Structure 1
């Protein structure tokens, strides 16, 4: 296994509301072409591709990549719920690190429909059945028609409110911050500013969550090209951003013991991030820019503590003092995050990767965080999987 894998190129397309995008195959091909062009790599050089999406027929990855050519190289389709994009990245990184491929492509896309996503297969066991049993036992059975994901993350946020005695309006500040960041991102869906009052006045969804605190269904695509350091040197490719450490974990027994925060991935996040910190020698105190999985404001809030960016029980102070934005301790979701940039499920993890690579290169324009040398990515999927990735800028 090589110590480092180079992120030679990244690419994405502007995210869009359902019904306003190209089809998934067109979007996927566009993002892949942009990443390959950014890397100065021909598609014919790609030895393996990992393509992520949640809603789509089998071999949708081939449908998208065949628009680039018929190379005969393996294409592996990946579905890991909302952590699908970063799971594809994890697989591509392992292919390069192990020496199986000098060049690997990770691609993610999603063509979503309006409204909250739900289960497609209703004639078989629900993949979240065990999670629903814990939620219903602890928080009560939600009203029919309540968006499924909101019931989990809303209940987790409410649990934190009750245990720590914080003002639930604190969560709304995260949306306000998200919109400010997205205003400088041409790829984001929602770029207009919002006040705390406007966020709180939007329709109630579940628990402390209102509509503007929930990520929207989104269409989009993003991609990354990974290469070995040797390949980059041989072909004169840009090699100043590497994946320094990465961890993918799934649920342990604590998920189902009755703590609603653990039910939505707190422990997965803590375990994955701890492994990444140990592998890289970088601690949470060193992080100045991070892309976090803010599917709901409550989850971004909980993730601050799970990643160790602030001690347990202090996230409210972290938010209200502006430690999570420019001029503070760490700029979280400079892209606008899932809440404002959008959340095309299969593309999200790779869109996060693109943003952080641009930050490390100094190419993030109006979103740029000055002087960053390391960047942290957190991508979570209920059901469950969590991927934490640490990127590093290297000299030479």
Structure 2
């Protein structure tokens, strides 16, 4: 047993060394720095921060480098590091109405107070490979890069003036913290939103796409999508007031969805909501669509059996770290389990063969 353990340790050490060599790659090529990843692979960094539940671009970039670009592995690293950090307080809720918007668009209203801001987006590119990037060509700076500052009203409030959309719920109770307490069912909306904001982007996108294809009859418009920086404030009891400790970049999406009404509510539009760290608009839109699908019961709608309406199915399978851990554990040694299965199959085959011979003899 001692020899087996030592042999296993040696193999693992060699695997670590080989991994480090593969991570570095060809040494004649300049090593990729954390700063380069942070600045030039910002969308990957944003995803790692969002699904890792930790807003720190430098740590997210380091995790991406360590994981060789495997974003789920990088998310795992960030979450593991997050558990070592002390918690010294809770910030006040951020006010996205005061967001300094780099991007602000609406698919429902053309003319918005403050204007639509296209911002940095792939929406209008031709999806053709740009070989200038392979030649390390310089990219011209944008003519205008000023973000919209000051109060920027949400588009849904325009509909709210006429009573055409449900009132936004303002609940001052402290929601449960999914990062410190396990997920339990039934989950209230605040807990569902926490789970969705750190859910796997691909899974959330698939669920959202299913609602658009008719699995939940959830036809939606993007009422507003905005990306920008918001200040973060911390209440200091000794001072008697709050102070700004920094700012974070967020992506917020609010969808406007059809609603035919119920016994207690008149026909009106309803809301779906998504809020994610960084510039992660695909995830924010997907989150808003799934959020709306999960609200079928509180809105008095019928359960159509759609996957996106099943809170237990969605929330228990959305976390890519849990999914990865359960999936990848099957590649680890299962020698004893397999030997038991092997002996069972052999015995069943022997019994089946004996039964066939007996039937033939009869």
TM-score above 0.5: no
Q: Which has the higher strand share?
A: 1
Indicate the TM-score class for this superposition, using the shorter chain for normalisation. under 0.3
Query: Which structure's relative contact order is higher, taking Cα pairs within 8 Å and 6+ residues apart?
Result: 1
Report which of the two structures shows the higher radius of gyration computed on alpha carbons. 2
